[in-house]
Chain A
Amino acid sequence: MENNLEGTGERKLQCDDVSKCFQLLESILDGNESADSQEVLKSKLAKCQPCFEHYHLEQAIKEVLRTKCTKHEVPSQLVENIRQKIEEIK
């Protein structure tokens, strides 16, 4: 099985270094790694099931946080109040 990992798309079921891998995956997902990390990412996701699952779950959570979290509208008076106070200290 090990020999055919890439060819068949099968992934190993245990990650050799969960701590290191997951931290790297999150860092890539957060855009904190260089462009060539995309290659590392591709190969990791192709070979390792825990990495594959972790990455996709984290990606989905990041996405729902960004798109679904309640946003509060800035109270209408706030900008005006700030400008007034600034005028006072000028």
Chain B
Amino acid sequence: MSEVQRKKYSDQEKNRIFDGEFMPHIDSMYNFGYRLTFDEDDAKDLVQDTYLKAYRFINSFEQGTNAKAWLFRILKNSFINDYRKKSKQPAKVDYQEVETYYNSDDVDYGITSDLRVDSLKDMLGDEISNALNSLAVDFRTVIILCDLEGFTYEEMAKILDIPIGTVRSRLHRARNLLKEKLRSYAQNMGYKTDEEE
């Protein structure tokens, strides 16, 4: 609707938007790419592709809207459409399967975790990162977007093309899985958990 009505940006405006609104997010973009692929070259390719697409389609970016969310959406789509196909690596968890299973309301809110706040605070960055990285990509993604990048549920819904209700339930599920990972790290590393008491 607004895309049809909006006038095209001049070359000068394009450069201003690109430098002023897109480039400042390169750090977050690269880290998002890295956390999706675990590979420096793949992350570089993803980010480069994303910025080229962003420039090519800059007329569909509305000034004043969230540039970071717009860029993240492009990167996520590039990852799903290009990277996953190219690498021929099936995702650990089938996307559709995740949707069908976890979109239902039967998220288990009853899971109790005996992970303790104290032991969390003692953990090293590598342990936290490893726990996050061990989650299937769809769960990892919602935690990255919410907890590391601070997107709102509404922004996440747009980035991921899913309803807000799905954002909420997938995030909750992802957090439960992360807690389980952190709990086993805590036990292995000899941090205290309630189980041992």
User: Are B48 and A75 touching (Cβ within 8 A)?
Assistant: no
B115: Cβ under 8 A from any A Cβ: yes
Cβ-defined contact, B152 with A31, below 8 A: yes
Q: Are A23 and B168 in contact (CB under 8 A)?
A: yes
- Determine if B196 is an interface residue (Cβ-Cβ < 8 Å): no
In terms of DSSP, what is the predominant structure of the interface of chain B?
helix
Q: Indicate whether A35 reaches chain B with its CB closer than 8 angstroms.
A: no
Query: Which secondary structure characterizes the binding site on chain A?
Result: helix
Q: Which of A2-10, A37-45, A81-89 contacts B (4 or more CB under 8 A)?
A: A81-89
In Å, the complex CA distance between A89 and B117 comes to: 51
Interface pair B125/A74, CB less than 8 Å apart: no
| Additional pairs, 19, CB under 8 Å, beyond known A26-B171, A57-B113, A70-B125 | A19-B107, A30-B146, A30-B153, A31-B150, A32-B152, A32-B153, A57-B120, A60-B120, A61-B179, A61-B182, A62-B147, A64-B121, A65-B143, A66-B148, A74-B30, A78-B30, A78-B47, A82-B47, A89-B56
